[in-house]
Structure 1
């Protein structure tokens, strides 16, 4: 399995975010799960990659040329794909990954995982999406999605496409058993 990881290019204010990112990287590597991510060496992105690599894992990075020029690219990865822009980066990660996990992060992390969820709703792909809910970080997003359902903006089965858990094992189990709902506008 190849899992797309979305997470912060910063480490956040609580050390639990970095230690969880390291644990995720190590655990996925030990399970033989390959990682594809944004290709950075900084923040939680770098923590996940370094931890996976330290356990012999395979890690592919997809990074826009602009960020390579700013010297944020991780140069010790299994593979590093340099693309022209963020759109190409997101498309390449979506092409390679078989499932997606968001760890804590900022606007980019949120935008990337929501795009994959949207693509799943539209039937562009049938890949599961999940939030590793470290310290309840994603609780406001979960509440917002419940509000979308209660206000009639999304269907219950499309909200249920997402898994929220603070346990990586729960997310991986859900991935193995994932059955996508009918696409929107069938």
Structure 2
């Protein structure tokens, strides 16, 4: 009699279980975001260059998980090899306010995706688009350009300064302008 009661209950329980359906990571090249950004303030004609930003960067910059994943990927892809924990090396520093191709997250994504002359390789097709955005969000956090609550903790083994979330907010100066750190003292 007990077996007859347990058997329908067991059948009902197993019928209610479904396999979890997960989205797999899309093809890195076909899933790229389409940002139309200007890398310099120069353009032909009387007006400045036109830009179309999707707003996707805000989703990554304000999310602590994405920034911490970017920190992990920054180390995994050996960005430290050229950029030396953000302070520079054979590649430019990422913690200051001087950006040749623009310091907005969309500009950084384009730099990682397309590469730049004289050393920065292109990672198009090698790193999925969402991971490029996470790395770019982490790079923005190095310059104190993300909300304090989202900024990751920093490994202080090589950093003489305080962690990102303990620094005052920074200001990005896009390419073509002279940042305060590069101006002559008065």
TM-score by length of 1: 0.26
Based on CA coordinates, which of the two structures has the bigger radius of gyration?
2
Greater helix share, structure number: 1
Structure with greater contact order relative to length (CA < 8 Å, sep ≥ 6)? 2
The structure that is strand-richer by fraction is: 1
TM score, norm. by length of structure 2 = 0.26
